[in-house]
Amino acid sequence: MTQLNSNHVAQLSQQQLTTWLVNKVIAIAKIEAHEIDINEQFINYGLNSVDAVTLSGELEDFIGYEIPASIMYEFSTINELAQHLSRDIDSPFAIEGEK
């Protein structure tokens, strides 16, 4: 894991990551919270490559460590991505930061 110089790695639960991603998708897709299904593919909410790049950057700033810019293609739903990142943070390589 490469920690970003300007940030601490946040210890975020899968639920916190899910909430953050849900809010982002709501804002980008301009939909209501009740229309979100966390197992739906990002692309089905109309998210394109520009959105994927922007969101991966914001996500990186949020969690405080480097992630692939293409992470939303590798983990293509809110649930998959939140699950992956929460496991990543729980890994022995994670650097504990401010809680």
Partner 1 sequence: MMTTATKTNLGASKSAIGHHYDVGNDFYKLWLDKNLNYSCGHWQGVDNLEAAQLAKIHHHIQQAGVKKGDRVLDIGCGWGHALQVLSENYQVEQAVGLTLSEEQGTWLDNMSLPNTHVRVESWTDYQPEEPFDSIISLGVLPHFCRTEMSVDEKVAIFRHFFEKCHSWLKPDGKIAFHCLFSGYLPADPESVLPSKEFLLNEIFPESDIIPLSSVLTGSESLFEIEKVSNHTDDYRRTCRAWLDRLKNNREAAVKEVGEEIVKRYEFFLRLSVMAFETKSVSEYSVTLKRIAPPAGSPTY
Q: Which is nearer to partner 1, 15 or 48 (CB)?
A: 48
- Rounded Cα distance between 74 and 81, Å, is 8
Residues 84 and 14 sit within 8 Å (Cβ to Cβ): no
Nearest distance in Å: CB 37, partner 1? 19
Q: Which of residues 46-65 bind partner 1 (CB under 8 A)?
A: 48-50, 52-54, 56-57
| Given 68, 87, 90, 96, the residue binding partner 1 (CB under 8 A) | 68
Q: Which is nearer to partner 1, 4 or 15 (CB)?
A: 4
Nearest distance in Å: CB 48, partner 1? 5
| Alpha helices, H only, the chain | 14-29, 49-63, 71-74, 78-90
